[in-house]
Amino acid sequence: MLTKRIIACLDVENGRVVKGTNFENLQDSGDPVELGKLYSEIGIDELVFLDITASIEKRRTVVDLVERVAEQIDIPFTVGGGIHDFETASQLILCGADKISLNTAAVEQPRLITKLSQTFGSQAVVVAIDSKRVDGKFFVFTHSGKNNTGVLLQDWVREVEKLGAGEILLTSIDRDGTKAGYDTEMISFVRDLTNLPIIASGGAGKIEDFLIVFRAGADAALAASVFHFREIDLRELKNFLKAQGVSVRMEGL
């Protein structure tokens, strides 16, 4: 049985971790270096760092901040936001990122997925897909959920797998920050389309939500505010999942 992963997400704006609802109304949640160190110490399986306004502001990810976070952790580290060229991605990997997450750039420059995959291996390339319902269909959005690409979710999932992505970070904009539970309909929909590992994102509110999303087909579950504000205890979460027959990593707890 493959081990399911619990991932903490640092959404970073102006050097601070923030969290909102449906990608809006962002509130300060702490220092990314301190939070990264804490999560590494308490047994989080992986850490994701997303510079959420880099693409909107047409700038690169804050490389020095990424390096400072990487120095404090010893768990797999994914970095995304503002990565629009091979050079920036390479620099981030040299600074400590284990994986690169592409979202807007993947849509605008699909060949970048392939180039990074061929250079660093598919395991180092995560394609982040932000999606929401429009007239009953799932569409792909970019620029922190502000731009509807007009691309159907199923078409983009199939395409990124062909291009060499190693993993999909799937965020439901409809559920982001709501704590209403993960979008299991979306997860199940994508699970039927691809063999790539799926990281579910958007909607975690209680311990049971993680069990439900794993049973819907997610390989990993990402959360932010419930961890930042200590609303869910990681040890309690993993013990619950283990008791329900879910394989999870218990080291470090």
In 3D space, the residue among 22, 13, 115, 125 whose CA is nearest the CA of residue 61 turns out to be 13
Q: What residue type is 20 in one-letter code?
A: G
Q: How far is CA 82 from CA 15, 103, 178, 191, in A?
A: 14, 9, 25, 27
**Helix, strand, or coil (residue 221):** strand
Estimate the crossing angle of helix 110-120 against helix 153-163, to 10 degrees.
40
Q: Which residue has the tokens 């702490």?
A: 30
| Beta carbons within 10 angstroms of residue 142's beta carbon | 21
74 is catalytic: no
98 is catalytic: no
**Helix, strand, or coil (residue 56):** coil
Q: Which of 51, 130, 176, 183 is catalytic?
A: 130
Q: Report the catalytic residues.
A: 11, 130
